[in-house]
């Protein structure tokens, strides 16, 4: 199913992000908006923001794709393509634009900083890109279910805002990361739609992709790369759940019968041949 550019689910989120980027640049309020949001979120508590920011981690986002492998193969492949595009968007931008983090610009007492103390390559936010890539796949790739699509966009927005609340990204970082994630989702769905025929995951390529994602999910059981000890129980629980669900789905894929090309019935051909013979006989009789 090709992505419809006329659907508000396709163009409205990036349009809002671009409008916010233009407004912040025109008014020069990037720092002021960061301080206001950072201070306003203190009442919620660090634990909530820590768990939201965990959902934007790249390895966590890939593990969450694993359960789609059998039930939604089209979205599974689109999500992997989106991860490549969003990753390139983030890493290439970081390579050319080295914006210092708030901790390198502001005094520690001026804002709330929690978690790892990053100081460099702030622009853009990779967590926001990952969250909006996943949300974009479902928002643009699934028809109906407007409530669920809206809730996914809200969740992705909260993941992006959490990077401001823990004091490691500016608002422009989050918005630019959101645009990269949404672009990745659109490219993934568009590339998938251009291929003729179904994108199956029961073949060798699908099993290899599933094995790689299983390894990513398994690494989350022991990894501490997020750098926030408070989220380790949730990280491990999520990893185990994705591993178990993914193993079940891949097992069902292995047991499924192979997909064969549809067979053409013999009787239409026979009827056509009989008619040709009858016509030839009539012509002989008339002649």
Distance, CA of 86 to CA of 159 (rounded, Å): 16
* Burial environment of residue 194 by CB neighbours within 10 A (0 to 12, 13 to 18, 19 or more): exposed
Judge whether residue 203 has pLDDT over 90. Answer: no
What would you measure as the largest C-alpha separation in the chain, in angstroms? Answer: 107
Beta-carbon contacts of residue 243 (< 8 Å; ≥ 6 apart): 63, 66, 214, 217, 218, 221
Q: Where are the alpha helices (DSSP H) in the chain?
A: 8-27, 30-40, 46-54, 58-65, 68-71, 73-96, 102-105, 126-141, 146-165, 171-194, 204-222, 232-255, 266-286
Q: What is the pLDDT of residue 264?
A: 43
Residue listed under structure tokens 């094995």: 211
Distance, CA of 241 to CA of 247 (rounded, Å): 10
What does the pLDDT look like over 96-139, one tens digit per residue? Answer: 999 999 999 999 899 999 989 999 999 999 999 999 999 999 99
Note the Cα 93 to chain centre separation in Å.
19
Q: What is the pLDDT of residue 266?
A: 42
What does the pLDDT look like over 60-93, one tens digit per residue? Answer: 999 999 999 999 999 999 999 999 999 999 999 9
HSE of 133, CA atoms in CB hemisphere, 13 A: 37
Judge whether residue 268 has pLDDT over 80. Answer: no
Three-class secondary structure of residue 132 per DSSP: helix
Distance, CA of 106 to CA of 197 (rounded, Å): 54
- C-alpha dihedral over 228, 39, 24, 159, to 10 degrees? 30
Query: In this predicted model, which residue has the larger pLDDT, 155 or 201?
Result: 155
Length of the chain: 287
Q: What is the mean pLDDT of the chain?
A: 89
Judge whether residue 151 has pLDDT over 90. Answer: yes
Kindly report the pTM of this predicted structure.
0.86
Instruction: Give the residue-averaged pLDDT of 225-251.
Output: 96
pLDDT band per the 50, 70, 90 thresholds, residue 283? low
Distance, CA of 176 to CA of 287 (rounded, Å): 81
Distance, CA of 115 to CA of 42 (rounded, Å): 14
């Amino acid at each position: 199913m090709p992505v419809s550019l006329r659907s508000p689910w396709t163009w409205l989120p990036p349009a809002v992000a671009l409008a916010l980027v233009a407004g912040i640049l025109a008014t020069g309020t990037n720092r002021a908006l960061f301080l206001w949001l950072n201070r306003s979120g203190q009442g919620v508590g660090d634990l909530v923001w820590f768990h939201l920011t965990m959902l934007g981690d790249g390895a966590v986002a890939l593990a969450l794709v694993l359960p789609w492998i059998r039930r939604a193969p089209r979205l599974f492949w689109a999500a992997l393509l989106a991860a490549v595009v969003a990753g390139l968007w983030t890493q290439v931008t970081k390579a050319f634009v080295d914006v210092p983090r708030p901790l390198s610009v502001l005094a520690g007492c001026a804002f709330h900083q929690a978690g790892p103390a990053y100081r460099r390559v702030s622009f853009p936010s990779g967590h926001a890109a990952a969250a909006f890539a996943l949300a974009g796949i479902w928002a643009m790739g699934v028809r109906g279910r407007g409530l669920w699509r809206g809730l996914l966009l809200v969740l992705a927005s909260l993941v992006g805002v959490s990077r401001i609340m823990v004091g490691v990204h500016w608002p422009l970082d989050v918005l630019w990361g959101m645009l990269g994630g949404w672009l990745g989702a659109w490219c993934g769905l568009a590339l998938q739609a251009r291929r003729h025929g179904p994108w199956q995951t029961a073949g060798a390529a699908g099993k290899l992709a599933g094995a790689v994602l299983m390894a990513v999910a398994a690494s989350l059981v022991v990894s501490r790369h997020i750098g926030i000890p408070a989220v380790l129980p949730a990280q491990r629980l999520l990893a185990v759940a994705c591993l178990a669900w993914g193993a079940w789905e891949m097992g069902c894929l292995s047991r499924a019968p192979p997909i064969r090309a549809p067979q053409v019935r013999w009787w239409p051909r026979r009827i056509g041949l009989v008619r040709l013979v009858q016509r030839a006989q009539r012509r002989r009789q008339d002649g």
